Amino acid sequence: MKVAIVGGGIAGLSSAWALTKRGHDVTLIEQGELPNLLSASGDEHRMIRRGYGSADGYARTISEAFEAWEEMWGDLGRSHLAARGVLAMSQIAGDDGEKFREGYDRMGEAYELYEPKDAARRYPFIDPGTIRYAYHTKAGGALLCQRIARDLARWLQEKGAVLRLNSGVTAIDEQAGGVTLADGARITADQIIIAAGAWVLRLVPELAESLRLYRTAVAYLAPPADLAAAWAEAPAILDIGGKAEAYMLPPVDGTGLKVGAGVHKRPASAPDANRSPIPGEGESLRKLLSPPLARIDDYRVSRVVTCAYTFTADEKFLSYRKGKALVVSACSGHGYKFGAAIGRRVATALETGNDPALLAWLRAEA
């Protein structure tokens, strides 16, 4: 089968990986470089964790996600998962930190529970006076996205897939099976996968009913010198508790210490709008970390990275069939960790024609 893939984020790259492995003739078209630092998949790292709060469907599907990454590491010849484990905290009864723990309990997921003082002994950046408890799970950590993109691009080229970089797709012909590039070139295909992330509405405007566009930002922080060693070994932090919906990724082998927060996201008019950091944006992200971090004024914001992404109303992923084109959206702010598994599932859907099975799996309802 001849397949054209629009988009070199993790959904497009992983689909290219899975289809190429199965012997299909793949062309991947990306409007920027690989990795494209403006894409949702283009940041230094993203978290993978078993904790899914009240979303039990995804908590069940996550085992397949871990297993698919292992298959990908086997092909790439090295792992890009920094398996530091995952820490979460609760500050107030009923906060997200508590909900994630309840999800672990429902799923029978093992974790180590720490009283505040014990947590601060293990993780000296925590102010023990501000938390009710912390808990750590061994599975998960940080996926090193930029390295994954580079290695996948190399692997795809070695296996004969075609990469068209810096080539935006301007039109899709879903009836005949073809895409048109900005320079006027046309690529024909039996099937087209549209994995265009936040840019998807330009190619498939009717999805505006289902996908809302948002802008957010993450801040990279330099911790105080005496806490640098503790951060260098820290787990990923799934939720700091309280109301900030804040998470952190530790510095891993040259990547930075990062904070992001659900409360920071805002509706956006276009994926490329307001992509320069707003003055003070990094500082407001830094301040969200106290409580529960100790000495937050001793941290310095070193860099702010903006992101554009889409959400469905129920925060599930989406697929949508339009003639020979299949839109795949690993959206709603939690799709990276499923990347390799999404690629395999998309390849199966193209081979079997069973789009409903793909959608049910993407919605974690299979």
- Binding flag, residue 307, ligand FAD (CB under 6 A): yes
Which residue type occupies 111? Y
Using CB under 6 A as the criterion, what x/- string covers residues 241-280 for binding ligand FAD? -------------------x--------------------
At residue 225, the 3 state secondary structure works out as helix
> Binding to ligand FAD by residue 333, rule CB under 6 A?
yes
Q: What SS3 class is residue 157? A: helix
**1, 34, 234, 137: CA torsion to nearest 10:** -10
Task: Record the tokens describing residue 299, joined without a space.
Answer: 């941290």
Q: Which helix (H) or strand (E) holds 305?
A: strand 300-311
Does residue 31 belong to the site contacting ligand FAD (CB under 6 A)? yes
Q: Whole-angstrom Cα distance, residue 15 to residue 139?
A: 25
Q: Which amino acid is at 151?
A: D
Its sign, for the CA torsion 146, 152, 157, 162, is negative
Q: How far apart are the first and last CA of the chain?
A: 26
Query: What is the spatial distance between Cα 359 and Cα 180, in angstroms, rounded to a whole number?
Result: 27
Least distance in angstroms from the C-beta of 287 to ligand FAD: 18
Question: Binding to ligand FAD by residue 59, rule CB under 6 A?
Answer: no
195 in Cβ contact with 26 (< 8 Å): no
Contact stretch for ligand FAD (CB under 6 A) within 103-111, 125-133, 331-339, 348-356: 331-339
Q: Residue 17 interacts with ligand FAD (CB under 6 A)?
A: no
Which residues lie below 8 Å from residue 94, measured CB to CB, with a gap of 6+?
A: none
State in angstroms the smallest separation of the CB of 228 from ligand FAD.
22
With contacts defined by CB under 6 A, name the span among 5-13, 54-62, 132-140, 318-326 that binds ligand FAD: 5-13
Which segment (77-85, 219-227, 282-290, 325-333) binds ligand FAD by CB under 6 A?
Answer: 325-333
Residues touching ligand FAD, count (CB under 6 A): 38
> What is the CB neighbour count within 10 angstroms for residue 197?
27
Q: How far is the CB of 262 from ligand FAD (least distance, A)?
A: 9
Which helix (H) or strand (E) is 318 found in, with range? strand 318-322
> Is 215 near ligand FAD (CB under 6 A)?
no
* Count of C-beta atoms within a 10 Å radius of residue 364: 18
Which one of 23-31, 80-88, 117-125, 150-158 is the stretch in contact with ligand FAD (CB under 6 A)?
Answer: 23-31
Residue of closest CB approach to ligand FAD: 9
Alpha carbon distance 342, 329 (integer Å): 10
Q: What is the DSSP string of 202-221?
A: HH-GGGGGT-EEEEEEEEEE
Tokens of 239: 């939720």
- Which x/- pattern over 133-172 shows residues binding ligand FAD (rule: CB under 6 A)? -----------------------------------xx---
Of 20 and 329, nearer to ligand FAD (C-beta) is 329
Tell which one of 3, 4, 5, 7 touches ligand FAD (CB under 6 A): 7
Choose one: 66-74, 193-201, 282-290, 347-355; the region binding ligand FAD (CB under 6 A): 193-201
Per CB under 6 A, does 40 bind ligand FAD? yes
Residue from 3, 4, 5, 9 binding ligand FAD (CB under 6 A): 9
Options 4, 5, 86, 196; binder of ligand FAD; rule CB under 6 A? 196
The DSSP letter of residue 70 is H
Residues of this chain that interact with ligand FAD (CB under 6 A) are 6-12, 29-32, 36, 39-41, 46-47, 168-169, 195-199, 203, 216, 218, 260, 307, 309, 329-331, 333-337
